[in-house]
Amino acid sequence: MSKKATWYRVSVPELRGATVRAIFEDLDGALWFGAEGAGLTRLDAGGYHTWSVATGLVSDSVTSPWQAASAAPTPSSTASASTRPAP
């Protein structure tokens, strides 16, 4: 039996006009968006938070966020980012 999806619109100013290169669902069900030039954005029921070079990422171009079995997702970028944002 398949799950029904619920779609809703969310405005994230940091992603407006950005090219989203990756979408990732973490173990808690939050969605992460890696964007070209717009950093990494986490979206969950409580809202959203965006990380960028200004907040500690190595690059604002995040192409493939990933998650270890028991950790917060880690961004990967064209600059090989290794900074892990706090959830």
Q: Coil, strand or helix: which one is 53?
A: helix
Is residue 55 in a domain?
yes
39 closest CA partner among 28, 55, 17, 26? 55
Reported as a single tens digit per residue, the pLDDT across 11-63 is: 788 888 888 888 888 888 888 898 888 999 998 888 889 999 999 888 888 88
User: Rounded to whole angstroms, what are the CA distances from 81 to 5, 30, 58, 61, 75?
Assistant: 32, 21, 5, 9, 6
Residue 72's pLDDT is what?
59
Q: DSSP for 7-19, please give it.
A: ------GGGTT-E
Is residue 7 in a domain?
no
Is residue 41 in a domain?
yes
Number of domains in the chain: 1
Is residue 87 in a domain?
no
Can you give the residue range of the structural domain that contains 38? 18-82
Is residue 26 in a domain?
yes
87 closest CA partner among 37, 36, 26, 39? 26
Residue 78's pLDDT is what?
44
